[in-house]
Amino acid sequence: MTIKVAIIGSGPSGFYTAESLLKSGQDVEVDIIDRLPTPFGLIRGGVAPDHQKTKKVAKAYEKTALNENVQYFGNVDVGKNITIDELRKTHDAVVLAVGAPTDRKLGIPGDDKIGVFGSADFVGWYNGHPDFTNLNPNLDVSAVAIVGVGNVAIDAARVLVKTPAEMAETDIAEHASIAVQKSPLTDVYMFGRRGPIEAKFTNVELREMGKLENCLPVIDPTQLPESVTGNWSDRDQRLKERNLATMREFLEVDPTNKDKKVHFEFFANPVEVLGNEKVEGLKVEKTLVEGGRAIGTGEFFTIDCGLVVAAIGYYSIPIEGVPFDTNNGIVIHEEGRVDDGVYAVGWIKRGPTGVIGTNKPDGEIAAKQILEDIRSSTKAGRDELNALLAERNVRIVNYQDWQKIEKAEVAAATGPAPRKKFVNIQDMLTVLD
Ligand SMILES: Cc1cc2nc3c(=O)[nH]c(=O)nc-3n(C[C@H](O)[C@H](O)[C@H](O)COP(=O)(O)OP(=O)(O)OC[C@H]3O[C@@H](n4cnc5c(N)ncnc54)[C@H](O)[C@@H]3O)c2cc1C
């Protein structure tokens, strides 16, 4: 008896689920469905273009995709081309692995002005995600404000200040590369409501900011405490001590010949985006941290900037027919079980936290639950999915098709760049005609 599983989403959590199902040694047929022709979710569209080593994890996913019991259904949007209810009829188990593709909103006056972007959009734009190709952020500005002090904020700052030489070996989208190179940008401000100890950077990402060719990390030494105090786990304590040491090292970076600056602004809570139609600045309230919470001091300052990027977290989109917890932006589930035969993994299950590897246990748990729950298969699986999509004239991009698209991207690369990304779906499909 073959158990038919449809996994919606080809990011890390989807692939780890498929991998675990295959590893179980059970008789499974796994269909991985993605709305984009390109697989791998945020590995392609989120992880920074200058972090190519991190993106190499996709090679392990490729092994899974090429397994004879797995089929990739790219360019198939669940909700548009086929519904969850239909998949529940065609497959024994449906796994939601759709991630958290939108931004938490800033929620301050002026956050609807032209020039305010969420990091999902901004990162998607520089990573060539087809949804954001036409975002067109105006980088003809001298200063950018990034709200948030986590790794996504640091990624965005770094991509904005690296030199063309530093970006040569990346797969930044061509439109973004041109805009960044032309930009007269000199200052990036990163705002964190709380202090340097509470900042969520991992140390590798933070350290990179001290090694940039043309950019100086700027930090107010009076904001750096003598030591890390507070109730942290041993692991967090070590990370925070490393981060504090790194920030101290920033004070020693030689400013000579550095045209750009990234300002780490801690204890600073943006309260209003200033300007008429377009962003002209940011009003910020100084804060104190009490009991781990940032409290406004009533003291304000402003900075001039022409662009604001909110990197304060991601949010999932409710899925029709699936119970959704709007407070936390995740599906309602019990240990990953959503309903009979429906499971959740990754960011749609846990919320937008953790690194790529954090999604692996989710996949293992879902695979185990599926194999425990489903004792007999009554569904037609892939054949019926193919038939339904053919009826609707959906152009399925299978894994071999994706390999052709990828080959064309690699062939189009210039210099040491690993690929030149297609940034719209039609261009990808044209390669296959
Ligand atoms: C900007 C950014 C940078 C990051 N950098 C790193 C890093 O350097 N290192 C690290 O370890 N972690 C990094 N992470 C975290 C890591 O990317 C996530 O942990 C991981 O991608 C979450 O996996 P996921 O499968 O839940 O979601 P995703 O990776 O988002 O995958 C979801 C997939 O579902 C598809 N999908 C969505 N809706 C539908 C639909 N209706 N129909 C069909 N398909 C659909 C999407 O197209 C996508 O392919 C980063 C995250 C972000 C946001």
Domains and CATH numbers, the chain: 3-101+316-432 (3.40.50.720), 102-314 (3.50.50.60)
**Is residue 338 very low, low, confident or very high in pLDDT (cuts 50, 70, 90)?**
very high
Q: Which residues fall within 8 angstroms of residue 27, CB to CB, at 6 or more apart?
A: 1, 2, 3
pLDDT bucket at 321, cuts 50 / 70 / 90: confident
- Spacing, Cα 200 to ligand 1 middle (Å): 19
- Please state the rounded mean pLDDT for residues 335-355: 96
> Is 281 near ligand 1, meaning CB less than 6 Å away?
no
- C-alpha 362/C-alpha 346 separation (Å) is 6
CB neighbourhood size of 322 (10 A): 18
**Ligand 1 atom nearest to CA at 76:** 43
Q: Would the pLDDT of 241 be above 90?
A: yes
Cβ(98) – ligand 1 distance below 6 Å: yes
* Percent of the chain with pLDDT strictly greater than 70: 100
Question: What is the mean pLDDT of the segment spanning 179-184?
Answer: 98
Model confidence at 230: pLDDT above 90: no
**Residue range 312-321: average pLDDT?**
90
Statement: residue 287 has pLDDT above 90: yes
Q: ipTM score here?
A: 0.99
Please tell me the residue having the least CA distance from ligand 1 atom 9: 355
The count of other CB atoms within 10 Å of the CB of residue 289 is 16
- Evaluate: CB of 54 within 6 angstroms of ligand 1: yes
Tell which residue, 293, 270, 235, has the closest CA to residue 153: 270
Q: How far is CA 231 from the centre of its chain?
A: 29
Distance between CA atoms of 383 and 362, rounded to whole angstroms?
28
Does the Cβ of 9 fall within 6 Å of ligand 1? yes
189: left (phi > 0), else alpha (psi -120 to 50), else beta?
Answer: beta
- Produce one character per residue of 244-275: b if its CB has 16 or more CB atoms within 10 Å, e if not: bebbeebeebeeeebebbbbbbbbbbbebbbb
Ligand 1 atom having least distance to the Cα of 80:
41
The response to whether residue 6 sits with its C-beta less than 6 Å from ligand 1 reads: no
- Is the beta carbon of 16 within 6 A of some atom in ligand 1? no
Please write the tens of the pLDDT for every residue from 26-40.
999 999 999 999 999
Average pLDDT score over residue span 35-60: 98
**Confidence at 22, pLDDT banded by 50, 70, 90:** very high
Contact (CB, 8 A) for 201 and 155: no
Q: Going by CA atoms, what residue is nearest to atom 12 of ligand 1? A: 355
CA distance 92 to 373: 10
For the record, the structure tokens of 46 come out as 């989120």
pLDDT at 202 over 90: yes
Instruction: Identify whether the C-beta of residue 324 lies closer than 8 Å to the C-beta of residue 331.
Output: yes
Q: How far is CA 234 from CA 28, 112, 225, 230, 376, in A?
A: 41, 41, 18, 11, 46
Pair 262, 137: CB distance under 8 Å? no
Mean pLDDT of 272-282: 98
| Strand locations in 119-254 (E) | 143-147, 187-191, 215-219
Average pLDDT of span 333-353: 97
The residue among 34, 41, 43 whose CA lies nearest residue 74 is 34
Q: Give the other-Cβ count within 10 Å of 186's Cβ.
A: 14
Q: Which pLDDT score is estimated for 378?
A: 86
pLDDT for residue 291: 85
Expressed in angstroms and rounded, the spacing between residue 42 Cα and the centre of ligand 1 is: 3
Cβ atoms of 217 and 200 closer than 8 Å: no
Backbone angles phi, psi at 155, to 5 degrees: -60, -50
Helices (H) and strands (E) in the chain, counts: 15, 19
Answer yes or no: are the C-beta atoms of 157 and 217 closer than 8 Å: no
421/49 Cα distance (integer angstroms): 11
Through-space distance between the first and last CA atoms of the chain, rounded to whole angstroms: 37
pLDDT over 90, % of the chain: 95
Is the Cβ atom of 303 under 6 angstroms away from ligand 1? no
Instruction: Judge whether 22 and 71 are in contact, CB under 8 Å.
Output: no
Q: How far is the CA of 191 from the centre of ligand 1 (A)?
A: 24
The residue whose CA is least distant from atom 52 of ligand 1 is 46
Nearest-angstrom CA–CA distance, 86 and 425? 25
Per-residue model confidence (pLDDT) at position 175 = 98
Mean pLDDT within 409-431: 97
Ligand 1 centroid, distance to 10 Cα (angstroms): 8
226, two tokens: 């003598």
